[in-house]
Amino acid sequence: MQPLRWHVPHLDHGLCSSGTMTDRERLSLPECFVMTDLQRLVIAATADLRLEPVPMLLVLLADPEATLPMRIAAGNLLALAGDPRIDPLAPDMIDIAGGDVAIGLAVEEIDTVTAWFAHLGIDRSWIAKEAPRHVRRLAPYRLARYPVTNAEYRLFLVETGHSDLPTSWAFRRYPSERANHPVYTVSPASAQAYAAWLSDRAGRAFRLPSEAEWEYAAAGRDGLEFPWGDCFDPALANTAECGLLDTSPVGAFVGGESPFGLSDMGGNVEEYVADDYAAYPGGETIADHLSQIHGRYRVARGGGFSRFGDLARTRRRHGHNPKSATYAMGFRLAETPR
């Protein structure tokens, strides 16, 4: 099998001027239809696997030796058959000990990190939001292995009558074919309402993670640049570079897990945390396009299928831009142990 050709962006004016771009231009795509290698190979793999039983699909989805298209296809078929990994009332949570942890980016590294993504034309101020590096004390906590999926969010909507439906659900129809994909286009308020509902339903203390909790869970004790290591790899996270340009079944990007074993922290959907943006202690308050749009805004962490790999960095602080459909906002649960 030929190696996958990744989507390599060519942005003439850079993302810092994205306010004048169409969404296709932001993704470095032509206005006409194109099909990427990954999209084509997932379709072929789905045809090959369509008769496989659920146990075999689960094996393939977790197999690091299986190709990425095979894993995504296996996960998509599990969405239709019923994915036993997903239990709406008992999400798979990972214990994290906490302690005194280093968060953020050293000031002297801002220019270096900005230069890494010069091909995207990112603004230096976006990276400056990560500085300075500092220590936070975290109590023990749990974080979900996967972001909240469509299947889990559906039960919340059915049981509560919550009226703020995901706009990614076309005509507000539940996308059963994406049951085990992360839900996205939800608001911070809806994410918090979901956590409150599940806490009451399960008798546990679910919530959104703090920025520091999310970053430490993604970067680990060694403060990795990406959840899997210090170099970006489009095979390890569902970002625009991989060319899927859609959500994927949770856990399909095997090898991209964080040091604590959490999946999809570098890609798939951006994840709201509990904090609104504020400068770190001793840092500069950055008045970028998000503050100009919102004033006060909720921070999101992690990369997404319609954003480039600069957002896959564990330290990156960003948020929702309602002027573009390329912002796929989801969330992941934290839990306070009782």
Would you call 331 exposed, middle or buried from its count of C-beta atoms within 10 A (0-12, 13-18, 19+)? buried
Please report the pLDDT score of residue 121 as a whole number. Answer: 84
CATH number of 118's domain: 3.90.1580.10
The list of the chain residues with pLDDT below 50 reads 1
Structural domain range at position 177: 15-34+85-335
* pLDDT, position 13: 58
Is residue 279 included in any domain, yes or no? Answer: yes
pLDDT, tens only, 5-34: 777 766 655 665 556 677 787 777 788 888
**In-domain check, residue 70:** no
Cβ neighbors of 179 (< 8 A, separation 6 or more) are 79, 80, 83, 86, 149, 150, 151, 154
Tens of pLDDT, residue by residue over 80-123, are: 999 999 999 999 999 999 999 999 999 999 999 999 998 888 88
Domains held by the chain: number: 1
- At residue 330, the 3 state secondary structure works out as strand
Residue 46 lies in a domain: no
Does 183 reside within a domain? yes
pLDDT of residue 11: 60
pLDDT given at position 260? 98
User: Under a CB-based contact definition with an 8 Å cutoff, are residues 328 and 184 in contact?
Assistant: yes
